Structure 1
Amino acid sequence: MSQLKNYTGSVFGGLGHLLKAYCEAKHIPIPEQLQRIQNQERFDYVIWRDLLEDLNRIQPTTALGLEIATYVQPKHLGIIAYLALSCENLGEALARYHDFHRLIYDGSPLIVEFDHPYASIRWEAPEPHPTQLTDEIAIALMVQFLKLFMSGEQIHLHEVHFVNIAPKNTHIYEQYFHCKVRFDQPKTQLLLPVSEAFKPLKTGDHTLQQLLLQQAQALLEKLPNSTQLDQRLQHAILTGLQKNQYQIDCIAEKLGLSVRQLQRHLQQQDTTFQARVQQVRFMLATEYLKNPHLSLQEIALLLCYSEQSAFQRAFKLWAGKTPQQWRKNNIIYNL
């Protein structure tokens, strides 16, 4: 995926909000450098590493990375949180994380290998000057990401490995991960039983999903003769865009219709399938643009555009202004 090359050595700006949320919860004075990176789309990985070390100096905490990770919310994870909304099980969410992890946390390449009965999830090449803190927060963030979308069930890890020497208190790590944690190992990795991949994820009660569906419903109310089929169509396009399965044949199949039947219905509504797709894309675009950390490239990817320029042209047709101009007037900083 060539578009990921631009992100080498940086992390998603939402992680800066995560650190700020942790500081506020713990009543820690917010470091000046942390304040400066608020609302940046991305910032250097070295700054991320230094901020973690600064926080540990300000208030020394055993397993600080694990504690920070407990405060993570979907809004801190950006694009993969949006994509995870369409995942049906843990394995699919893990695949999404693998494909897009560098957009969130670009310290080392993430490798996922299956060696029955376990899946090995590890960071292949350590970043310059790896620390226990950067390693543990990388693993903890991934585990918390998966937990955020679980449907009530717990994730059962087999083991977690760290390359660093064991700290004095290893119990806190085993208590956090609920499994055996080994230190001074050849690789930083977690071992997940393959059977865990089939555990279902929740999507219907997710806050963002509900917000998007409410907006989709608001669009439907503008139609002169909205039907139950229109509601199902709107939802199918919404979720189809998240999976890059929004073409008319895919959507018709989801609705149990032939392509011709769907086209005939849309003709009766005095619209076309392409117009409905663009309507949903515009709705999603305005929601994504309110997040200051999502780059235009990432938003284009979320909307299934192969090029950022194509998204920008389409948005100007929809809104009469560029995405940058729209964002300047509508951005939400309190994420």
Structure 2
Amino acid sequence: MQQFKEYTGSVYGGLGHLLMCYYQAKKLPIPEKLHQIQNLERFDYALWRDLLSTLEQQLPQPALGLEIAKYVQPKHLGIIAYLALSCDHLGEALQRYHDFHRLIYDGGPLQVEAQNDYLSIRWSELPVHMTTQLTDEIAIALMMEFLKHFMQFEDICLHEVHFHHPAPKNIALYEQYFHCKVRFSQPITQVLLPVSELAKPFHQGDQTLQHLLLQQAQALLEKLPNSTRTDQRLQQAILTGLQKNMYQIEHIAQQLHISVRQLQRHLQQQGTTYQKRMQEVRCLLAEQYLQDPHLSLQEIALLLGYSEQSAFQRAFKQWTQHTPQQWRMQRAS
């Protein structure tokens, strides 16, 4: 492990759970190192690479990374799964993935660049000893599975997928998975996506997280003395606005197709203000996010629209008389 010391990247703890799910599904002996990271918010990228190499030795098969990625669930992706709920189309989701992907998989900076009619999505090159075919393919497959939770996979028409490492024995497995031409021994690892795909809308089905947020909205509505359709729309607008970091009253009023003054008057009639209503939403969401053991306080702060973790901690103490850490520990016990 000495050769990895110069690299300090890390991966989201949920990926340790993903790997555990795969081991259990395949009924394989679970390495002690995998047991040890199950309660960590993050762990070293070098350890992730080491765990994947160990699995590859236990279960040598082509396209192993694609198989592992098929077991991913929103809970394994943390903050990005929550943020993606507010996305309307593929382009917006990819932008979110670009902005926050290192919170999940810090295996190298993600770069997105237009190349004529295609969008190149690629990972900056790491030292040769830090990457393998398995680390590269699982990075791409995780991104594709992330999109699969919000769109029908067959609807995403990739142009080509390139891998830097030499071709394995069964290239057909990769082309069946990605539904496009897959090339190996290429200068860089990348996904080429037609620009025309970016406008494709998401299919908003009965997603677990979306249902969760709607439950939170309903819980808030039940506390209101005179719930109206405007209140229902306001709650949902604030929820999605927080996820998009566009929750200012001017933006929310625009979403409701009313003026800021009309919105303020409506809330005044209920004896409250926009700031108080937004803080109510933030408080309930904060309690929900804190129940996810893999979300760090920094990530929760981002989800709630705070630029600094300290601002979130101060606000939570005002709402509940407890710090987020105290609330989380009490809930766990």
Whether TM exceeds 0.5 here: the answer is yes
Say whether 1:195 aligns with 2:196. Answer: yes
- Structure 2 Cα separation of the partners of residues 151 and 166 of structure 1: 28
Counterpart of 1:268, as a letter, is Q
Give the 3-state SS of the residue equivalent to 1:305 in structure 2: coil
Counterpart of 2:123, as a letter, is W
Aligned to 2:68: 68
Is this contact kept in 2: 1:157–1:177, CA < 8 A?
A: yes
Is this contact kept in 1: 2:147–2:153, CA < 8 A?
A: no
Give the 3-state SS of the residue equivalent to 2:186 in structure 1: coil
Give the 3-state SS of the residue equivalent to 1:252 in structure 2: helix
Q: Gaps (5+ residues) in structure 1?
A: 1-6
Aligned to 1:176: 177
- Structure 2 Cα separation of the partners of residues 20 and 26 of structure 1: 10
- Structure 1 Cα separation of the partners of residues 83 and 127 of structure 2: 26
- Structure 2 Cα separation of the partners of residues 127 and 97 of structure 1: 23
Counterpart of 2:324, as a letter, is P
Deviates more, 1:320-329 or 1:7-16: 7-16
Deviates more, 1:128-137 or 1:310-319: 128-137
- Structure 2 Cα separation of the partners of residues 219 and 205 of structure 1: 20
Aligned to 2:290: 289
Write out aligned runs for 1:131-210 (5 A).
131-150=132-151, 154-203=155-204, 205-210=206-211
Counterpart of 2:251, as a letter, is C
Write out aligned runs for 1:12-51 (5 A).
12-51=12-51
- Cα offset, 1:212, TM superposition: 1.4
Aligned to 1:83: 83
Question: Cα–Cα, structure 1 residues 81 and 191, in superposed 2: closer, same or farther, change >3 Å?
Answer: same
Question: Cα–Cα, structure 1 residues 212 and 37, in superposed 2: closer, same or farther, change >3 Å?
Answer: same
Counterpart of 2:91, as a letter, is G
Aligned to 1:95: 95
Counterpart of 1:246, as a letter, is Y
Q: TM-score, structure 2 length as denominator?
A: 0.95
Aligned to 2:249: 248
Counterpart of 1:187, as a letter, is I
- Cα offset, 1:29, TM superposition: 2.1
- Cα offset, 1:202, TM superposition: 2.9
Aligned to 2:235: 234
Is this contact kept in 1: 2:264–2:273, CA < 8 A?
A: yes
Counterpart of 2:149, as a letter, is L
Deviates more, 1:167-176 or 1:275-284: 167-176
- Structure 2 Cα separation of the partners of residues 39 and 235 of structure 1: 32
CA distances 1:153-175 after superposition (whole Å, capped 9, x unpaired): 52111111111111111111111
Counterpart of 1:308, as a letter, is Q
Name the % identity: 72
Say whether 1:277 aligns with 2:278. Answer: yes
CA distances 1:207-262 after superposition (whole Å, capped 9, x unpaired): 11111111211111111111111111111101110111111111111111111111
Say whether 1:107 aligns with 2:144. Answer: no
Is this contact kept in 2: 1:204–1:210, CA < 8 A?
A: no
Give the 3-state SS of the residue equivalent to 1:146 in structure 2: helix
- Cα offset, 1:128, TM superposition: 5.1
- Structure 2 Cα separation of the partners of residues 81 and 98 of structure 1: 13
Counterpart of 2:12, as a letter, is F
Question: Cα–Cα, structure 1 residues 247 and 8, in superposed 2: closer, same or farther, change >3 Å?
Answer: farther
Is this contact kept in 2: 1:15–1:77, CA < 8 A?
A: yes
- Structure 2 Cα separation of the partners of residues 122 and 225 of structure 1: 51
Counterpart of 1:142, as a letter, is M
Question: Cα–Cα, structure 1 residues 224 and 204, in superposed 2: closer, same or farther, change >3 Å?
Answer: farther
Aligned to 2:120: 120
Aligned to 2:58: 58
- Structure 2 Cα separation of the partners of residues 164 and 125 of structure 1: 12
- Structure 2 Cα separation of the partners of residues 169 and 44 of structure 1: 31
- Structure 1 Cα separation of the partners of residues 43 and 179 of structure 2: 32
Q: Gaps (5+ residues) in structure 2?
A: 1-6
- Cα offset, 1:125, TM superposition: 1.8
Counterpart of 2:272, as a letter, is T
- Cα offset, 1:25, TM superposition: 1.2
- Structure 2 Cα separation of the partners of residues 331 and 197 of structure 1: 41
Is this contact kept in 2: 1:161–1:183, CA < 8 A?
A: yes
Counterpart of 2:69, as a letter, is A
- Cα offset, 1:61, TM superposition: 2.0
Is this contact kept in 2: 1:288–1:294, CA < 8 A?
A: yes
Is this contact kept in 1: 2:62–2:169, CA < 8 A?
A: no
Write out aligned runs for 1:208-227 (5 A).
208-227=209-228
- Structure 2 Cα separation of the partners of residues 151 and 63 of structure 1: 21
- Cα offset, 1:331, TM superposition: 4.4
- Structure 2 Cα separation of the partners of residues 221 and 134 of structure 1: 47
Counterpart of 1:131, as a letter, is T
Give the 3-state SS of the residue equivalent to 1:221 in structure 2: helix
Question: Cα–Cα, structure 1 residues 31 and 294, in superposed 2: closer, same or farther, change >3 Å?
Answer: same
Q: CA RMSD in A?
A: 1.5
Q: TM-score, structure 1 length as denominator?
A: 0.94
- Cα offset, 1:151, TM superposition: 5.4
Question: Cα–Cα, structure 1 residues 302 and 264, in superposed 2: closer, same or farther, change >3 Å?
Answer: same
Aligned to 1:9: 9
Counterpart of 1:74, as a letter, is P
- Cα offset, 1:8, TM superposition: 5.0
